[in-house]
Structure 1
Amino acid sequence: MIRDILVNLAQGVERDAAAEYAASLAVEFGAHLTGLSVAYEIDVPPFYMGALPTDFIDAQVLENQSSAEKAAARLEDIAKSAGVPHQIRTLSASLGVAANSFAHMARLFDLTVVAQPDPDKPGPEEVLAETVLLESGRGVLIVPYIQEKPFSAERAVVAWDGGRASARALAEALPLLHRTKVVEVFRVVSDGADAADEEGQDVARHLARHNLDAQIRRLPVKSGDSISAAILNEVSDQGADLVVMGGYSHSRLREMVLGGVTRDILSSMTVPVLMAH
């Protein structure tokens, strides 16, 4: 069960979609909600220090502290309106230290919620999401920055590739899947692969023993076709409101250089995605 939820609090936004979604999750599961609000420190290389006026650095520090206080106050309002027990933790640190601290915190929460990076508003979300996904050892629920609906999992798509990360994501997602009406196990397979998908049936058997009736769908793709596009198209076609998948099955460096499914999904997702590594 989900009894303890952690969410990173967004700054410089009119509304915090991830915090609102996390609060709706807390309502659904009767969980406690903890928000982390970071006052980001100015991380200036020593050789630049002399070039930056002291007044500028001081003003930036005060602005960052003010942003963190506003983010905390916003969660206070959200949690009180939702009627969920909550706590706000604060931290003053550079982005790198904050991301590592957030990942360490997440190890003792049932679920961590973060916002999808907004390409039009560069911020710390991408670093935080990737670090907590890679380092926490727990499931991470990434909420689209355009998300407006509260938690709902009428239809869930489980993107299963048989790997370790997929297995971890499926295990972490079980409490959420028990709130669904339809679960689809979506298998992207090589074009020409044997039509008898024993592994897909094994996933369905495993879920059935958790009292979950899963449908199996296979999509053959040709070499070079986009797996992430296939997943996103399936989510759209099925009207799914939750995706479950492994994150960074390949090394993060390889995905950064060559691209990969995880990074493509993070940049293009339109519904919440639960990932684990």
Structure 2
Amino acid sequence: MIRDILVNLTQGAERDPAAIYAASLAAEFQAHLTGLSVTYEIDVPPFYMGALPTDFIDQQIRDNEAAAAKATAQFQAIAGAAGVVSEVRQLSASLGEAAHTFSEMSRLFDLTVVGQPDPDRPGPEEVIAETALMEAGRAVLVVPYVQKPPFSIERVVVAWDGSRASARALAESLTILHRAKHIEVFTVRYAGEEENPEGVAAMERHLAHHGLKATFRQMSISSGESISSAILNEVSDQGADLVVMGGYGHSRLREMVLGGVTREILDSMTVPVLMAH
């Protein structure tokens, strides 16, 4: 059951897609919605302090306080319009402290919602989203910065690779999957790898025990092709409203340096993605 939802409030934006989506999700499940509004502290290395004018630092502090206040007011209006019971928790902290605190908070919520970073407006969302995914121990639902439709669950693509992270994402998505009209389990394998009919049968049996029925599709790609591109293309072809997948099967550092499916999806996602690590 989804009865308690947490959302990180986007700072400095005219519109907060994550908060809007979270409010519509809370309305769908009649859940309580909590928004975290952060006043980000100025994190200046000590050896730079003397080089920065006091007026500059004071203005940055005022700007950050104003951004947090605006995010709070915006969230309250969104929640009120959606008719959901809500509250705002406020925090004054550095980005690293805020990300860690948000992750700890997430452990006592049924679902955590964060916004995808906007490449044209750098902000804290990337650090918040990735830290929550790695540290929360719960599913994290990432909302595209271009998201406009409210929560909808007509069609879902479950990107399945049999990993621990995929299993956790599937388990945490079951409540949402029960609202879906069409579920597709999508597996990508490299050319030369054998198909796994036993795995398909096991997945079909597991979903059936939960009263769920899905279609299954496996795609073979060459070694030079991208798994993330295959997933995103399938999502587009299916007109999916949501993707369910594991996150960071490799270490986050490896994916940051070498790239990986999780980072590529987070950079290029076009629909909300529910991830678990």
TM range (shorter): over 0.9
Pairing 1:216-255 to 2, within 5 Å after superposition:
216-255=216-255
Residue 172 of structure 2 is matched in structure 1 by 172
Residue 207 of structure 1 is matched in structure 2 by 207
Secondary structure at the counterpart of residue 169 of structure 2: helix
Secondary structure at the counterpart of residue 228 of structure 1: helix
AA in 1 matched with 2:256: M
Residue 65 of structure 1 is matched in structure 2 by 65
**Partner Cα separation in structure 1 for residue 17 and residue 162 of structure 2:** 32
Unaligned stretches of 5+ in structure 1? none
Q: Tell me the alpha carbon deviations over residues 78-129 of structure 1, each in whole angstroms, 9 at most, x when there is no partner.
A: 1111110000000000000000000000000000000001111100000000
Q: Tell me the alpha carbon deviations over residues 23-59 of structure 1, each in whole angstroms, 9 at most, x when there is no partner.
A: 0000000000000000000000000000001111111
Q: Tell me the alpha carbon deviations over residues 148-183 of structure 1, each in whole angstroms, 9 at most, x when there is no partner.
A: 000001000000001000000001111111110000
The reply to whether residue 37 of structure 1 matches residue 20 of structure 2 is: no
**Partner Cα separation in structure 1 for residue 120 and residue 142 of structure 2:** 17
Residue 77 of structure 2 is matched in structure 1 by 77
Shift of residue 194, structure 1, vs aligned partner? 3.0
Shift of residue 193, structure 1, vs aligned partner? 3.1
Shift of residue 201, structure 1, vs aligned partner? 2.3
TM-score (normalised: structure 2): 0.99
Residue 51 of structure 1 is matched in structure 2 by 51
**Partner Cα separation in structure 2 for residue 202 and residue 141 of structure 1:** 26
Residue 95 of structure 2 is matched in structure 1 by 95
TM-score (normalised: structure 1): 0.99
Across the aligned residues of Structure 1 and Structure 2, the Cα RMSD in angstroms comes to 0.8
The percent of aligned pairs where both chains have the same amino acid is 70
Do the aligned partners of 1:189 and 1:221 also contact (CA within 8 Å) in 2? yes
Structure 1 consecutive aligned stretches of length 4 or more whose deviation exceeds 4 Å: none
Return 89-98 or 184-193, whichever deviates more. 184-193
Do the aligned partners of 1:185 and 1:204 also contact (CA within 8 Å) in 2? no
Return 217-226 or 109-118, whichever deviates more. 217-226
Secondary structure at the counterpart of residue 173 of structure 1: helix
Secondary structure at the counterpart of residue 137 of structure 1: coil
AA in 1 matched with 2:21: Y
Cα distance change of structure 1 residues 240 and 41 upon mapping to structure 2, 3 Å threshold:
same
AA in 1 matched with 2:153: A
**Partner Cα separation in structure 2 for residue 15 and residue 176 of structure 1:** 25
